[in-house]
Amino acid sequence: MKQSIQVFLVDDHQIIRDGLTNMLHDAGDILLCGCAPDVPHALEMISQAHPDIVITDLSLPGKSGIDLIRKVTELYPAIRILVLSMYISEDYIFNALQAGAWGYLPKQDTTKAELFKAIRTLYKGEQYFSDSLAQTITRIYSHAIRKVTAPESVTRAQTLTLRESEILRLYAEGLSNQEISEKLNISVRTVETHKNNIMQKYNFRSTVDMVKFAIRNNLADL
């Protein structure tokens, strides 16, 4: 029998907890192992429940979701934390990632299918961010990585085609698939094909990995 992904939910609104509880029942491979309305109760219950994933809001009574992320990361580094929040500004996302979050979803437009996908992605040991946050995430990593002075060897980039190099540079500048499509006068599907080729060549696991490589090697400035 396949092992279920154990999920713990932290949100101060009962209606949200009830809704997500009902939603997770439909996943099959995902099991809700507990809920809490605030940080103290969450920390106490997480120590007993031993979840794989913690889903938390950032706005909580008393201590914030950022406090929870830091504490869980410190005490239980194997637990992966997914933020589900209405706050989607760069500051909120940056603080959550810096505290140790593995993923970020906006409450406003996250579907059940995307929530399940995010949980399963984190469980596999990969980060997950909503497509609607892609440009914000890129800016955050861009600002952080430009502070790093030691670049990787750029020899890996020499096997890219001219079009792939151009598309990689535009991703590093924070453009979306649609914006790259319009800028280069090619279809979104063609952009995605080039992106997949780049990621396969260098075994990048996510768009974030691809952008980080481009920025570290100053490819965004070409």
Helix axes 90-99, 134-145, angle to 10 degrees: 60
pLDDT digits (tens, 9 = 90+) for 21-80: 988 888 888 999 999 999 999 999 999 999 999 999 999 998 999 999 999 999 999 999
pLDDT digits (tens, 9 = 90+) for 74-111: 999 999 999 999 998 888 888 898 888 999 999 988 99
pLDDT band at residue 148 using 50, 70 and 90 as cut-offs: very low
Q: Which two tokens stand for residue 202?
A: 């260098």
Class of 139-221 in CATH: alpha beta
pLDDT above 60 for 2 = no
What's the pLDDT at 162? Answer: 79
Q: Do domains 5-129 and 139-221 have the same CATH topology?
A: yes
Look-up of token digits 């500048």 = 173
Where do the structural domains in the chain lie, given as residue ranges?
5-129, 139-221
Mean pLDDT is lowest, of 64-73, 153-162, 195-204, for: 153-162
Strand partners, 105: 84
According to CATH, the superfamily of the domain at 5-129 is Response regulator (3.40.50.2300)
pLDDT above 60 for 155 = no
The 3-class secondary structure across 89-118, one letter per residue, is CHHHHHHHHHHCCCEEEECCCCCHHHHHHH
